[in-house]
């Protein structure tokens, strides 16, 4: 690699020096010799009768100088054409190294970009997976915050939110909506005699009964203690009473593992049948109907009537 510059730049320098010598020789022959001869003749330094010889030598010198100048002009023209069509020898010698360096640089840069793209793709995939996991966790936490720990049903908070939503929908479209409250009769004796673990199992059994006999669009919740609340969407008061009576019969006949017979009392309130301007008012009507069923002897369904609840 050390002699490469000599092959290009040194040869080019030598060619330049030769060209300068030729130019100086041409100037000397074409201009210097005639001027010296003419000066010698004028000064009387030339021998007598030598004028024809001086003239001949001058002509020969002019012709030789002109020939050299012609040759130099041709050389310069060829060099100009070469420079116009190709880079210089020095650049030609350097080109492979520069191209190799550029190719190597861009290769490394593209490799780095590919690596970064792969890392970004991997990072993007990890972020998307983390985001999906976060969303799933968020949904699970949200669902958990709305679920009762013992029965797995919705809790009071969720029931209240959905009741508000259904009342808003009722105000817009006047579609019926009903609330059914259920309270187990004698559940305290189960807890007291058999323990809270058996009591929790009993609540779970009742929850399964409610889920089995309810439509998917209905909201079944444990409202607190041994009280359950069911939001019946698109259900009239007559439909809500039939639903409550069906659940009452199933609970009364259900073979609980502890062997005790349990019954339930129900309160029903509906819109537009009952007078209620708010979700709280509708729930209160159902609650009053529930206590009317309790007072009437339990294991009954009572429906709110806008006045005292009517026991069915």
- The domain spans of the chain are 4-86, 156-311
pLDDT of 81 over the 90 cut: no
> What residues contact residue 194 under an 8 Å CB cut-off, 6+ apart?
258, 260
Mean pLDDT of 100-123: 68
Query: Which strands form 301-303's sheet, in the order they lie side by side?
Result: 219-224, 227-233, 177-185, 263-271, 301-303, 310-311
Give the tens place of pLDDT for each residue, 246-300.
999 999 999 999 999 999 999 999 999 998 889 999 999 999 999 999 999 999 9
- pLDDT greater than 80 at residue 84: no
205 to each of 198, 228, 232, 251, 262, how far by Cα in Å?
Answer: 11, 12, 20, 9, 11
**Is the torsion defined by CA of 6, 9, 11, 13 positive or negative?**
negative
Beta bridge mates, 183? 227, 265
Q: Which of 152, 165, 252 is nearest to 217 (CA)?
A: 165
As a whole number, mean pLDDT of residues 107-136 equals: 71
CA angle in degrees (0–180, nearest 5) for 245-247-251:
120
Cβ proximity of 22 and 30 under 8 Å: no
Q: If you average pLDDT over every residue of the chain, what do you get?
A: 79
Span 198-230, pLDDT tens digits: 999 999 999 999 999 999 899 999 999 999 999
Give me the pLDDT at residue 93, please: 47
Residue of 118 and 75 predicted with greater confidence: 118
> pLDDT at position 74, please?
66
236 Rama class: left (phi>0) / alpha (psi -120 to 50) / beta: beta
Per residue in 126-138, pLDDT tens? 767 776 766 666 5
pLDDT value at position 7?
A: 52
- As a CATH number, domain 156-311 is 3.30.70.270
Nearest to 253 by CA among 294, 222, 290, 209: 209
């Amino acid at each position: 690699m050390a002699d490469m510059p000599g092959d290009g730049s040194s040869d080019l320098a030598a060619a330049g020096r030769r060209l300068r010598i030729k130019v100086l020789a041409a100037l000397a022959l074409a201009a210097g010799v005639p001027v010296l001869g003419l000066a010698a003749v004028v000064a009387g330094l030339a021998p007598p009768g030598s004028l024809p010889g001086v003239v001949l030598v001058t002509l020969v010198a002019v012709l030789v100088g002109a020939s050299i100048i012609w040759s130099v002009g041709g050389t310069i023209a060829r060099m100009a054409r070469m420079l116009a069509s190709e880079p210089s020898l020095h650049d030609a010698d350097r080109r492979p190294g520069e191209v190799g360096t550029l190719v190597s640089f861009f290769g490394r840069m593209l490799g780095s970009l590919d690596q970064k793209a792969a890392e970004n793709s991997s990072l993007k995939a990890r972020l998307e997976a983390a985001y999906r996991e976060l969303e799933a966790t968020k949904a699970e936490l949200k669902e958990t915050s709305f679920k009762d720990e013992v029965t797995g049903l919705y809790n009071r908070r969720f029931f209240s939110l959905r009741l508000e939503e259904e009342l808003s929908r009722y105000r817009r479209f006047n579609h019926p909506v009903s609330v059914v409250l259920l309270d187990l009769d004698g559940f305290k004796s189960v807890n007291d005699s058999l323990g809270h673990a058996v009591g929790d199992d009993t609540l779970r059994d009742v929850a399964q009964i409610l889920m089995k006999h309810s439509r998917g669009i209905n909201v079944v919740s444990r409202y607190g203690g041994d009280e359950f609340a069911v939001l019946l969407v698109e259900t009239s008061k007559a439909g809500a009473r039939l639903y409550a009576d069906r659940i009452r019969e199933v609970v009364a006949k259900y073979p609980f593992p502890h062997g005790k017979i349990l019954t339930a009392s129900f309160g029903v309130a509906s819109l537009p049948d009952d007078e209620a301007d708010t979700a709280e008012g509708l729930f209160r009507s159902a609650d009053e109907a529930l206590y009317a069923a309790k007072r009437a002897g339990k294991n009954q369904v009572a429906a709110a009537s806008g006045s005292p609840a009517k026991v069915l």
